[in-house]
A and B are shown apart, each in its own frame.
Chain A
Amino acid sequence: MRRTLVAGLAVAALTVSACATDTPTEQAPGGEQPEQEQTADGEWFVRATYDKQLAQRDAKPEGPEDQPWLQAIEPEMVDTAEFKQDGKTLCFSNASVSNPWRVTGWITMQQQVDVLKASGDIGEFRVSDAGDDDNKQISDIQSFVDAGDCNAIIISPSTTATLTPAVEAACESGVPVIVFDRGVETDCMVTFIHPIGGYAYGADAAEFLVDKLEPGSKVLALRILPGVDVLEHRWAAAQEIFGASDIEVLGDEFTGGDGAKIKDLVTQYLQRGDVDGIWMDAGDGAVAAVEAFEDAGKDYPVMAGEDELSFMRKWKETGMTAIAPVYSNFQWRTPILAAVKIWKGEEVPKEWVLPQEPITDADRDEFLDRNKDMPSLHYAKFGGEDLPGFPQAWKDR
């Protein structure tokens, strides 16, 4: 016992001399918080960003119209000459593939990589999946940085605030960093790729409902989870728009995206009165909500779902009034193309804002046609129709 203690102390003394640290030196979290204004939901609503996103919906994107994943809205280019290199190892830290939207995007990304591997632009593609665990993703990113042979690191962060230090550490290592989907609270990366944003998504849905419903109509909001910034922004925007209109919001419920829970909730609201419209912050379980109306023998609601195929097919089948807001799934292609551009020293936008256009009555059938063999949990705007693997790769999953 005594010997163990002495040995332990000796070891401790020896090793203290070898201290090192991986802490990122720049501390952004305190400094760069977006201004928090107190409005509808306080923490999640920032007026300036809200207005900017709503305006961006009307802006015309620059770039090829038939390749929306290469378009950018009001881009400010950065010079990437310093990153020009021959190295071809691409490393990707993925938050997870834990929902069908991410699975669809992931397949699209892999197909894009295959094309570029065939043409020799990409050598090795390394992936680590964090399974939605922030701590694991931090370890994964550190792992890539320590390995030393990544020529570019793509990161899809699982949570905005918590991944910030890890992204900063990656930036500091000198490797070009590309962030897409959710952001982080720093701008050290070379480019941040994302569609217009959550406020725009929520606004698209809410404005449609306000437009199509009579004043005094009742809307039920179905949300997936609390505390996830991409989803909270959508709801914050909807609250803003509903608040300024004559629509009565019956309530907002958290469903976890589970079909049974959604159906049960909607059924219970229907028992207690009318529900004229349904606002959802994502398409998971949208069909279950529609079926609840069917089972209760009530008329279909005005609905905002998502570009998930099962919802779109149900929409066509029932002929209801609906819109499918989109969180452009094709954004999964852009980071790969951006990495190759950076390696060639070409300019990329500092903040690459991709177009985000909801699917309306007008173009619904066209999208359904293009995706006619696809499984029901596929996303219509996946942007992969021109890739060689289409349609098998997405059909077979």
Chain B
Amino acid sequence: MTTSTRPRSRGASIRHSRRQLGSTELVYLALVGVLVIGAVLVATTGGNLFGQANLVDMLTRSSLLGFVALGQTFVILCGSLDLSVGYVMALCSLIGATTMAGDPAKVPLGIIAVLVVAAGIGLLNGLIVAVLKVNPFIATLGVGLIIKGYLDTNYKGPAGDVPASFQAFGYTRIGFLPLSTAVMLAAVVLGILYLRRSRTGYHMFAVGGSMEVARLSGIRTGRVLVMAHVLCAVAAGVAGLLIAARFGTGSALVYSSGYDLDSIAAVVLGGTLLMGGRGGIAGTLGGVLILAVLDTVFNILQVDPFFKDVLRGVVIIAAVAIYARRQIDRKASRPRFDGGSPPGPPTPTPDSPVPVQQGVSR
């Protein structure tokens, strides 16, 4: 299930028996670790981390961030970034709620409106980054500000009305699994399949690994980037719909809840390199779950909210330090010129032209 790549070292046949831990496995190990420690700590206060209430809590917290982080993974894999997701969520929650306007018959219309608008914003982001060659940090920050101005001017507070049938999206549970989490998991599976099976998915790794080389190999880097941004914005749009479902109305103030930086943290926690080219959605899911479990445990233990921020900051840095060291050290420790073996990790593109495998020449 892992989509991260492992470098083939010299004498692959010898190392075959020793499976090295990919970063995705490491994330899930960390998740298990956090669950265990959390369960022990919660037990000392007399609670049960795996009781129904807490389990539902953890999963609900993960669904919203899960959608956003899923989208952010595509973009980061391509070596780009999206800081406008919080604003897209807010805008889409409002568009969804105002389109539905309390009428169950209008629910599909609302969903379609949201997806169209989100895709449009993603397209805008992608074009600004790919065609105008603006740095993605600035491009998406700028688009986010544009949306913020629109929201502040037109929507003075919550607006719109979500009918009960759609609110069920936010509140229904299957046993202990909230429906929203189930949908999020389905989206994650689709995302993984997309990355592993479709050509654009492969190309995202290539573009993130090295834009120049990908371009020289004949990949339409512009299109890949735009596609990644569109997917990211659409995922944020779905998150906006989820918010509308849970609130019963749309809300502009969501953009100040920090989902943009949280989603980047989740993606990086999941082992995806911020520079792009390596990583995957399975890892991101692990990152999201870790953050959700941490939040739940802190809540149960009634940790001071400010101490929570400190802990989160430390956890994020520590976790990334642990992965980053492994990945980069592995690269650095390999001799630069060792005649014959491929210098870089092969990207999962069996039919790509040979130059990609030779690495970058400077």
Contact = CB atoms under 8 A, between A and B. Distances in A.
Given A27-B164, A127-B302, A136-B61, A227 B252 contact: yes
Contacts of A19: 172-175
Interface string A3-18: 0000010000001101
Interface stretch (A138-146, A209-217, A347-355): A138-146
Contacts of A226: 152, 156-157
Nearest to A166: B246
A92 B162 CA distance: 27
Given A165-B247, A165-B248, A227-B252, A129 B305 contact: yes
Interface of B, helix, strand, loop or mixed by DSSP = helix
A222 B170 CA distance: 37
B173 A22 contact: yes
Interface in B56-115: 56-57, 60-61, 64, 102
Interface string A211-245: 00000000000000011110010000000000000
Interface string A357-373: 00000000000000000
A161 B249 contact: yes
B158 A135 contact: no
Contact of B57 (A24, A135, A139): A139
A161 B158 contact: yes
Interface in B241-276: 243, 246-249, 251-254, 256-257
A274 B54 CA distance: 59
A23 B61 contact: no
B53 interface: yes
A132 interface: yes
Contact of B253 (A97, A146, A159): A159
A135 B54 CA distance: 16
Contacts of B52: 146
A23 B302 contact: no
A136 B262 CA distance: 14
A143 B53 contact: yes
A21 interface: yes
A30 interface: yes
Contacts of A27: 163-164, 167, 248
A8 B186 CA distance: 10
B305 A97 contact: yes
Contact of B61 (A16, A18, A139): A139
Nearest to B152: A226
A148 B48 CA distance: 13
A133 B170 CA distance: 16
A162 B248 contact: yes
A142 B57 CA distance: 8
Given A131-B305, A159-B158, A162-B158, A23 B164 contact: yes
A320 B56 CA distance: 56
A8 B175 contact: no
Contacts of B249: 29, 161-162
Nearest to B60: A139
Contact of A29 (B161, B251, B299, B302): B161
A18 to B, nearest CB: 4
A43 B168 contact: no
Residue in B57, B157, B248 whose Cβ sees the most chain A Cβ within 10 Å = B248
Given A146-B53, A228-B157, 9 more contacts: A22-B173, A29-B102, A131-B257, A136-B61, A162-B248, A162-B251, A164-B248, A165-B248, A254-B152
Interface of B: 52-54, 56-57, 60-61, 64, 102, 152, 155-158, 161-164, 167-168, 170-175, 177, 182, 189, 243, 246-249, 251-254, 256-257, 295, 299, 302, 305
25 contacts: A15-B175, A15-B177, A19-B172, A19-B175, A20-B173, A21-B171, A29-B161, A29-B162, A29-B248, A44-B156, A134-B247, A136-B295, A138-B246, A139-B61, A142-B60, A143-B299, A146-B52, A147-B53, A160-B158, A161-B249, A162-B248, A162-B249, A226-B152, A227-B152, A229-B157
